[in-house]
């Protein structure tokens, strides 16, 4: 056998529009140093987000609460699944205290799913928002919440603390839900978003493309989101975190994202951030500002 011939399949090369530069800038390195110092659990780093440089330079980051292990095993997500530790009751106060040292204008809070807890972690969610607002009254908060299995009472507990934006990611079209996130339900996601919208609060969601969805399904999903008055939508390209995760079916071209953006806006969604590198928290502060200035 010719030893120069590799027996491994060639790696699929990323299109040029998915290549990014290394993060840089004084603000980025200042925030990174503080995140490391206070040992904050950020999705920005754990998910290797391609926009970390831009977001951190603008003073926006995404924190994850309720631990670093999830009760679900979504096939696109790199958060580990396994033994669940009891939530730490002191975490909300600790996070509020740490954030007071970071000098941020906008913070996105998310969490793992905690189906092992009777309330899905909603009490600690609400208390985290309460403590942050108490200690940092000038910080605007975006709560990127789980679906809580569609239980409106648990969602309402978080609404009562009045974060500026409540987001929940529907992730993919209805036909792919059982493949992409088998322990979730499309109907649960819509119910969560509708519950928030009925509280007259800013509602946000996110879609990944490139998993095998059809154009009419993407359009249908945007129409469903518009029907429940979702005001902000992020649309980005799915990228495979590892060989254990779902493969990318298609790299969506930038012009297709632009087309979807225009279709969604025509349905009445107030703001859409769409592009290959867009993630749910990309330019979250700018998205929120555009809506908040005219919403209340």
202 pairs with which residues across the strands?
A: 165
Residues 6 or more apart whose CB falls under 8 angstroms from that of 80 comprise 68, 69, 70
CA-nearest of 230, 236, 243, 213 to 270 is 230
Please tell me which residue, 53 or 35, carries the higher pLDDT value: 35
pLDDT digits (tens, 9 = 90+) for 23-34: 566 666 766 776
| 158 vs 192: CA distance, rounded Å | 11
Q: Does residue 187 contact residue 150 with C-beta atoms inside 8 Å?
A: yes
pLDDT on residue 22: 58
Bridge-partner residues for 165, per DSSP?
A: 142, 202
Q: Which domain holds residue 255?
A: 21-295
- pLDDT bucket at 15, cuts 50 / 70 / 90: confident
Give 14's pLDDT tier (boundaries 50, 70, 90): confident
Is the separation of the CB atoms in 132 and 141 below 8 Å? yes
Instruction: Please check the confidence at residue 118 and state whether its pLDDT lies above 60.
Output: yes
CA distance 112 to 145: 9
Quick one: 220 exposed, middle or buried, by C-beta within 10 A (0-12, 13-18, 19+)? middle
| Beta strands across the sheet bearing 202-209 | 60-65, 106-111, 140-144, 165-167, 202-209, 232-237, 271-274
Who wins on pLDDT, 249 or 8? 249
10 found inside a domain: no
C-alpha–C-alpha distance, residues 111 and 125, integer Å:
8
Instruction: Classify residue 166 by its DSSP letter.
Output: E
Determine the pLDDT at residue 141. 96
| pLDDT-based confidence at residue 271 (cuts at 50, 70, 90) | very high
Give tens-digit pLDDT for 128-175: 999 999 999 999 999 999 999 999 999 999 999 999 999 999 999 999
pLDDT band at 289 (very low <50, low <70, confident <90, very high): confident
pLDDT at residue 68, as a whole number: 82
CA 38 – CA 35 distance, rounded (Å): 5
Q: Which residues of 176-197 are buried (b: 16+ CB within 10 A; e: fewer)?
A: bbeebbebbbbebbbbbbbbbb
The reply to whether 14 falls in a domain is no
pLDDT (tens digit per residue) in 90-114: 999 989 988 888 888 889 999 999 9
Whether 5 maps to a domain, the answer reads no
pLDDT value at 7 more than 50: no
Residue 276 lies in a domain: yes
State the Cα–Cα distance between residues 45 and 67, nearest whole angstrom: 15
CA–CA distance, 175 with 186 (Å, rounded to integer):
9
pLDDT, residue 207, reads: 97
Can you give the pLDDT at residue 3?
43
> 88 φ, ψ to 5°?
-90, 115
Q: What is the pLDDT of residues 208-257, one digit of tens each?
A: 999 999 999 999 999 999 999 999 999 999 988 888 889 999 999 999 99
Q: Rounded distance, CA 144 to CA 281, Å? A: 9
Checking if the pLDDT of 4 tops 60, the result is no
Q: Is residue 15 part of a domain?
A: no
Q: Is residue 16 part of a domain?
A: no
Given this model, what pLDDT does residue 44 score?
61
Residue 4 lies in a domain: no
We report the CATH number of the domain holding residue 100 as 3.20.20.70
On the CB side of 174, CA atoms within 13 Å amount to 13
pLDDT band at 285 (very low <50, low <70, confident <90, very high): confident
* Four-residue CA torsion sign, 259, 263, 265, 266: positive
Q: What is the DSSP letter of 85?
A: P
- The total number of structural domains in the chain stands at 1
- Per mean pLDDT, which range of 66-75, 145-154, 157-166, 198-207 is the poorest? 66-75
Does any domain span residue 12?
A: no
Question: Tell me, what's the pLDDT at 295?
Answer: 61
Side-chain half-sphere CA neighbours of 108 within 13 A? 25
pLDDT at 57 over 70: no
């Amino acid at each position: 056998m010719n030893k120069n011939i590799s027996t491994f399949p060639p790696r699929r090369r990323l299109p040029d529009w998915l290549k990014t530069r290394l993060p840089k800038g004084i603000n980025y390195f200042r925030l990174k140093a503080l995140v490391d110092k206070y040992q904050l659990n950020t999705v920005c780093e754990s998910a290797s987000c391609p926009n970390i440089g831009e977001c951190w330079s603008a003073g926006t980051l995404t924190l994850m609460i309720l631990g670093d292990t999830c009760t679900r095993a979504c096939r696109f997500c790199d958060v580990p699944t396994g033994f669940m530790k009891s939530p730490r009751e002191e975490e909300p106060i600790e996070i509020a205290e740490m954030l007071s040292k970071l000098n941020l204008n906008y913070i996105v809070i998310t969490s793992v799913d905690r189906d092992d807890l009777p309330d899905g972690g909603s009490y600690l969610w609400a208390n985290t928002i309460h403590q942050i607002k108490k200690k940092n009254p000038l910080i605007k908060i975006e709560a990127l919440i789980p679906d809580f299995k569609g239980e409106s009472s648990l969602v309402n507990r978080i609404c009562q603390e009045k974060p500026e934006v409540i987001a929940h990611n529907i992730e993919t079209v209805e036909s792919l839900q059982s493949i992409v996130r088998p322990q979730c339900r499309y109907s649960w996601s819509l119910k969560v978003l509708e519950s928030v919208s009925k509280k007259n609060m800013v509602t946000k969601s996110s879609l990944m493309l490139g998993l095998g969805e059809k154009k009419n399904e993407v359009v249908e999903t945007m129409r469903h989101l518009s029907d429940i008055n979702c005001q902000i939508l992020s649309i980005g390209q799915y990228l495979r975190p590892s060989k254990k995760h779902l493969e990318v079916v298609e790299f969506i071209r930038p012009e297709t994202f632009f087309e979807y953006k225009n279709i969604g806006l025509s349905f009445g969604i107030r703001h859409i951030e769409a592009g290959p590198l867009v993630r749910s928290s990309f330019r979250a502060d700018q998205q929120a500002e555009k809506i908040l200035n005219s919403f209340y």
